Structure 1
Amino acid sequence: MSAEQIISDWKKNIYKPFYWLEGEENYYIDKIMDYAEHHILSEAEAGFNLTVFYGRDAEWTEVLNACKRFPMFAERQVVLLKEAQYMKDIAKLETYFEQPQPSTVLVVGYKEKKLDARTKLAKTVKQKGELFSTKKIYDSKLPEWTQQMVQQHGYTINQKAVLLLVDHIGNDLSRIENEVNKILVNLRDRKNITEEDIETYVGISKEFNAFELQLAIAQKNLSKAVRIVQYFEQNPKAAPIQVILPTLYNFFSKTAMVFGVSGGESAVASAIGVNPYFVKDYVQAAKNYGAQGVENILLLLHKYNLRSIGINDAGTSDADLMKEMMVKMMY
């Protein structure tokens, strides 16, 4: 069952006695937990029937006793156990999971971890309640996820704007959504988010960013690449070298995979795991550098990553390291 399905059921007053939310992607766990805290009960009901625990501070007996209480002046009560991964003796709640209180909705947030499926606790949770397990979304799926999220709000976003946003923020779904919400407040009558909106409301230059640098290198456009690095030098927070180098390494790692794929751009996009809209950049880089050139770039990225943290380097500035590296890549 997805996060949307769980919330949809709650809106229809369909509840299971407890929900165990686990895994790597905190965004969905937080989304479900937030709805449970603020929307299952009315404001008047919540005063008597909402109990929130935090795993670092709560004792399993306290949680157990709260779950066994009966609701006051309401059909049900809600008990939330946040950050349950830090709770000692959490396995002792198994006795409650075996015989949960029908009038209690217990929601457990077990972030960054998963139950061992072989244990009795995991089997009981799956059998008696709802086990919701998440995993991090692949970076290649972030543009598509962002577009769908924007569409759910009743808006659209163009491809360049998507890439700027995702490239700047990375794999942080909550922050992406927060930035989108900030933009939507300022769109007024417009229904489409553009790169100009990203530049204005998120603070990312549409001309000088890690994606444009990546594109300039892929095109072997040294002058453009140097201009972008000079912008980064004057605006250190725009794209630190510790962000740029992994981004370039990821791009050229996927470019290296292009040489093993036969077929058109759609086949390449599927094989290397990128959005079809952007696959032309990888194909172009492969043509411009060849297999040997791409291999050389990956070696250079590793070498300059070490130098950026002071290994085999006497203190060269980040900007000078980038310029030197790009010259060696392109010539």
Structure 2
Amino acid sequence: MSARTYLLLGPETGAKEQELKDIRAQLRAEYGPEIELSRFYPFETENGEIFTALYNNSLFSDHRLVILSQAEAVSASLATSLAEYLAHPVDTATLVIISSELFISAKIMKGVSKQNTKTFYDLLENQKADWIRNHFRKMGLSIKADAVELLIELTEDNTQELRTICNQLGLFWQISDKGRPIDEDDVETYVFHSRQEDAFTLFPSIAQGDLKKSLSSLHVILGSGDSQTAILLVSGLLWQFRRLLSIQEERETGTSESEAFAKAQVQLKSCPIRKPKDKSTYHAGLQYYEADAIRRIIALLAEADIQVKESGSELATLMLERLLYRIIKGKGKAMHEASFATFG
């Protein structure tokens, strides 16, 4: 079995992203900084596009990193083709297969060594409280039980968001030099303030197809000067479009909108929509974006997620402006494919 193939499984997104970064760093150390990167989703490679990327040598780099995300959704024919590749992989490319599931097609799993197969488990509900307390303890801080419960409630089972908010809140508390434990009011005040302008407040404008308002919100968000802002923004939008896709796919089966809201999920994790304001936002998104458009946008955001992590902050504004333009006006299509009108 080749050392150039990896299988990353499980629902814990943050840890898988770090593992992917580590793999890429190893390749850069071995082959130089110009590693060619391609990311595919099963619905994008039914005609063998991923194998073209794997087999074709690049003119610009000595090695290629090819990523297949959402591998739990591969068709039987694609699984067979991947198994054939895994039996005889090329040395000039590294293939990373990613899934939020614990198991995928046996044909694929058998083709990747146990050493290069890793499973990343999400935090269980009863583990989150301990994780939060330990997280703040490591930062030299303490947090009250009611504040812990509110953090879990506000993040709505999104473990990645929970980690992000705890990191931000802890840093804020350290800088503010607070000499007392974090309580429920502190959490509510901080989260409300930090969400004044972020991916969650930007998404309603995107859902309505309002490019002008979306760009205005984007500039406010980026005005914070935080180097992590662009990364968190793209990650937040990716989470919301995955949620929107789950609803749109439910609607296509004949499910009522209210039932689809209750069944909403992100990477097979239940994320029901309960608040009237959120229902209004996602209703607008269902009207503006068809399922195929949402899939294209998810692929676009996944590419952007990698780009913003590697680009300097000076490029973030232009990159994210173009990203919003392609999402809202192009419905995820490439710039040359889309017919764009105005910024209205």
| TM-score using structure 2 length | 0.44
| TM-score using structure 1 length | 0.45
* Structure number, greater radius of gyration: 1
